[in-house]
Every structure is written in C-alpha cells, then in structure tokens.
Amino acid sequence: MVGKDINEIISVQIEVELDSLEQIIKVFGGIEKEPSIQFCDGNAELKLVSTENSLAFDGGSVAKFILTFSVGVASGVVANALYKAICTAVRKIEFNGRRTRITEESIVQSLETIREMILSSENKKCINKGMEKSKTPTAKKKKKQKK
C-alpha cells in the first residue's frame, strides 16, 4: 500500500449487516484467515476482520472490516469502490460506530467526514506541539528576567 507512514493512512472500522455472507465470500474468495482486497491502484485496502450471526429477529449475518487508504486518495473514489464491492447485499452499514444510509453519496460523505476529522485532529496535534515548543523558550526567558 502506498503511504506506509502511519501519518499518511486513514483507517476506518466498518460493520455491515447482511442477509447472508454470499456477497462477502464472492468478493474475498472466502472468509478464512482475515482476507483482504486492494483497490484504487493499491492505495486502499479492505480487510475482513470477523463474521458472526446477527442478533436481529430476521437472522442475517454481521461482517466487520477495516478500511485503510492513503490520505492522498479521494474519499469519493474509495467510497465508490467500497460500495460496488460490498454494499449490494447490505441491510445496515456503520463507519466507526456511526450508522449511515446505504447510498454512494452517504458513504462518500461519511468517509470524507472521518477523513477531515482525522486530518484536523492531526493538524491540531502538530499545531499544539509547535505552540508548546515556542512557549518553552519564552517561559524560560521570563523566569530569567524575574531573577
């Protein structure tokens, strides 16, 4: 995957509820040994983490994934590939624990929101680190001036 640096990769937990695991088996070629698929020229990866039976009255299955993609890849491109890969048989989908509609537009918006939140929190960390570094020398100077 491009962007092996942890600061260049966005990871999203995905949970889907399906009628059956047939679509997942078709996409991944099986469900053993945490299979994964790559798309967007290797800049995005979808890894199947687990499958289990749903607790809903009408049965079904739940599949959990980890989606990772490079910061430089547009969220819309990743969302469209994800939608085509697994969303044809999905009844419910959650990104990082937040449920969303099963439409390409909603998935694009959810991934873009997650991407922006991650990038803005990373920027805040960088800004805060920079502020701490810049405050430290001035704080020492003020202490020296008081003495």
Residue 41 lies in a domain: yes
Average pLDDT, the chain: 78
Rounded average pLDDT over 10-14 = 92
For 42, the domain range is 6-133
Residue 146 lies in a domain: no
Q: What is the CATH number of the domain that holds 41?
A: 3.30.70
Q: What's the gap between Cα 124 and its chain centre?
A: 19
Residue 144 lies in a domain: no
Determine the pLDDT at residue 138.
44
Residue 142 lies in a domain: no
* Tens-place pLDDT, residues 51-108: 887 666 677 888 999 999 988 888 889 999 888 888 878 889 999 999 999 999 999 9
Determine the pLDDT at residue 109.
94
pTM attached to this predicted model: 0.74
* Domains held by the chain: number: 1
Q: Is the pLDDT of residue 11 over 60?
A: yes
Residue 92 lies in a domain: yes
Residue 113 lies in a domain: yes
* Letter string b/e over residues 5-20, b meaning 16 or more CB atoms within 10 A of that residue's CB: eeeebbebebbbbbee
